Amino acid sequence: MRILGIETSCDETGVAIYDDTMGLLADQLYSQVKLHADYGGVVPELASRDHVRKTVPLIQAALKQANLTAADIDGVAYTAGPGLVGALLVGATIGRSLAMAWDVPAIPVHHMEGHLLAPMLEDNPPEFPFVALLVSGGHTQLISVTGIGEYELLGESIDDAAGEAFDKTAKLLGLDYPGGPLLSKMAQQGIAGRFTFPRPMTDRPGLDFSFSGLKTFAANTIRQSGDDEQTKADIARAFEDAVVDTLAIKCKRALDQTGFSRLVMAGGVSANRTLRSKLAAMMEQRRGEVFYARPEFCTDNGAMIAYAGMVRLKAGENSGLAVSVRPRWPLDQLPAVGAI
């Protein structure tokens, strides 16, 4: 079974083809970073227009990369939510139209389920059950995963997501958009311990997160401490350490609560090397395992959508003729594969 996956939820256009026996056959990605950089963030209307321009050429490029034609495709998966409504509609409309033209099923995919399942694309995929840390620009969640579609929300951010806090703090430090990766790079030059940032909501029980106050703490520290390059690097180091420690503390609590010995981290922030190192050390100490996707599959991509679509299609799920997207779509509302 070969599935074409289309991802257009925000500012990256991803198209991939996944084969259930041969694995990933093609992977094409176009990033809109340069388009939005002048505005310091994603402009939804510009994002939608760029998806219109790029999606079909990327589909053609993916088919050429895999040496396939439309006749070789058994289903078309597209991101149906959550995300920017205009951007989602581009991928959904193109995906549904291609499925109709090619006479194959169309499969709407939950963006965050795509991220959650991205580590399944690796040579050593995790087995169920596990705790998933979904950490990106728009989401920070801890999920108990006992099977595909068997998701229980354990905790989430009550304000800014971790990735959003990274980008906002990077902007305070004068870094270009998107600033999260640049802040992490700057933090490598920082001196540990010069500044101490709080670990929000770790002094109380529960698994929810809050990063808005940490961003404010960073703003106050920057204002009071000057803006020479070493000071900014030290602040970046303190901020990153605080976020990473907070995520690790909450992951440990989630593992203790569930009794699971496997941890999956997914989403754009899961590519952060400090976070990977911290969680790997924690899981080694607990004699457990941590899993994550290669860096290019941590951010938005078509491969994770193609894989998730294949799983759902094999279970009998596909959409009707209507084009429908859900800008807000709780992950735990998805049906279990066995119940579809």
Q: What pLDDT digit, counting tens, does each position of 24-80 carry? A: 999 999 999 999 999 989 999 999 999 999 999 999 999 999 999 999 999 999 999
Predicted confidence at residue 144, as pLDDT, reads 98
Beta-carbon contacts of 52 under 8 Å, excluding residues fewer than 6 positions away, are: 90
Where is the binding site, in residues? 111, 115, 134-138, 167, 180, 272, 300
**DSSP 3-state of 250:** helix
- pTM: predicted TM-score of the whole model, two decimal places: 0.96
Kindly tell me if the per-residue pLDDT of 213 is higher than 70.
yes
Where is the binding site for Fe cation, in residues? 111, 115, 300
**DSSP 3-state of 148:** coil
- Average pLDDT of the chain? 96
All domains of the chain in start order, with CATH: 2-117+297-333 (3.30.420.40), 128-292 (3.30.420.40)
DSSP state of 144: E
Q: What pLDDT digit, counting tens, does each position of 277-323 carry? A: 999 999 999 999 999 999 999 999 999 999 999 999 999 999 988 89
- Report the distance separating Cα 156 and Cα 232, nearest Å: 29
Predicted confidence at residue 340, as pLDDT, reads 46
Where is the binding site for substrate, in residues? 134-138, 167, 180, 272
- Report the distance separating Cα 239 and Cα 237, nearest Å: 5
Q: What pLDDT digit, counting tens, does each position of 97-141 carry? A: 999 999 999 999 999 999 999 999 999 999 999 999 999 988 999
